[in-house]
Amino acid sequence: MKKKLVIANWKMNPVKLADAKKVLTGTLKEVAGVKAVQVVVCPPTVFLPELSKAVKGAGAPRLCVQDLFHEGSGAYTGQTSPQMAKQFKATWAILGHSERRERGEDNETVGRKVRYAIAEGYTAVLCIGERERNEEGAHYTFVRDELEAVFAGLKRKDLEKLVIAYEPVWAIGKRAEEAMQTHELYEMALFIKKLLIERYGRKPAEQVSVLYGGSVKPENAEQIVREGGVDGLLVGSASLDPKQYGEIVRAVQTVAQAQV
C-alpha cells in the first residue's frame, strides 16, 4: 500500500524568515516519530536556502516548492527553475495551484511544468479542481479537461512521480464545516482514479496518490481520509500552526495504521 501523504502549503507566509524558522522547527518537532505518513513541507522558495539546513536524515519531511518554471535558465524574469531549487533540497513541487491558475496560468503551461519537473527528478503535485458545482455535474467535465491536458504529454513511467491534489476552489480557505462532504469527495476521487486507469492501465495508475485539499483542519482530517477515498491531504492555512498540522498528520497516521 502507498504511504499516505500530508503536504503543508504555507503559500506566501510567514513574511519573516525568523517566523518561518519557528514554523519549521515546530513542524519537525510535531512530526518526529511519524512513520506511516510522508510529510512534505512547501515554504516560500526564498526561504529554502536557510530552512533546508534544518531538514536532515532519510526520514525527514520532504521539501517542496509552490511552483517551478518549465526551463532551466534564461530570460524568464521572476521564475525559479527546478535546477535552482534542487540545490536547496527541494524534491517536490506543487504545480497548477488554483491561486496561480486564477492569475492566468493555463492548462498547457501547467502541463509543461509538470513534464519538466518530473524530467528533472521532482515529484509533481498537480493541483486540479472546479471553481463551482452545478446540478448537471459540469465539475466532472472540468476536472477531466484539466487532467487530460496534462496526461496528453505524460508517459506511463512519469506516473511514478505524479501526485494529484484535488482541491475544489469553493472549499479552499474556509472553516472545517465548509470543507467538501466526504461522500462527494469519494465520488470525485473514484472518477480521477478511473480516468488514470483508462488512460494508463491499472498498475501505473495505482502508483498515483490522489489527495484532497480545501479547509482541512484537525477536526475533519481523519474523516476526510477515512471516508473520502483519498491517499492524503494538502493543507493550507492550518499548516502554518505546527500544533494543528501535527494533529492532522497524526490523524492521517491513525487511518493509515487502521488500513494496514
**b/e map 61-89, b = 16+ CB within 10 Å:** bbbbbbbbbbeeeeeeeeebbbebbbebb
- In angstroms, the CA 75 to CA 71 distance is 10
Residue 159 main-chain phi, psi, to 5 deg: -65, -20
Q: Would you tell me which residues interact with ligand PEP (CB under 6 A)? A: 9, 167, 172-173, 213-216, 234-238
- For residue 251, the 8-state DSSP code is H
* CA dihedral sign, ordered 37, 129, 174, 20: positive
Q: Which is nearer to ligand PEP, 110 or 205 (CB)?
A: 110
Whether 255 and 233 have beta carbons less than 8 Å apart is answered as no
Closest residue to ligand PEP using C-beta atoms: 236
Tell me the closest approach of the beta carbon of residue 214 to ligand PEP, in angstroms: 5
Tell me the closest approach of the beta carbon of residue 235 to ligand PEP, in angstroms: 5
Q: Is there a catalytic annotation at residue 227?
A: no
30, 99, 130, 167: the catalytic one is 167
Tell me the closest approach of the beta carbon of residue 171 to ligand PEP, in angstroms: 7
Q: Which is nearer to ligand PEP, 82 or 236 (CB)?
A: 236
Q: Which grid cell is 50? A: 536557510
Q: Which is nearer to ligand PEP, 20 or 125 (CB)?
A: 125
97, 120, 146, 222: the catalytic one is 97
Whether 6 and 40 have beta carbons less than 8 Å apart is answered as yes
Q: Which is nearer to ligand PEP, 116 or 166 (CB)?
A: 166
Q: Is there a catalytic annotation at residue 97?
A: yes
Report helix, strand and coil shares of the chain as percent, to nearest 5: 50, 15, 35
Tell me the closest approach of the beta carbon of residue 58 to ligand PEP, in angstroms: 27
Residues annotated catalytic, as ranges: 97, 167
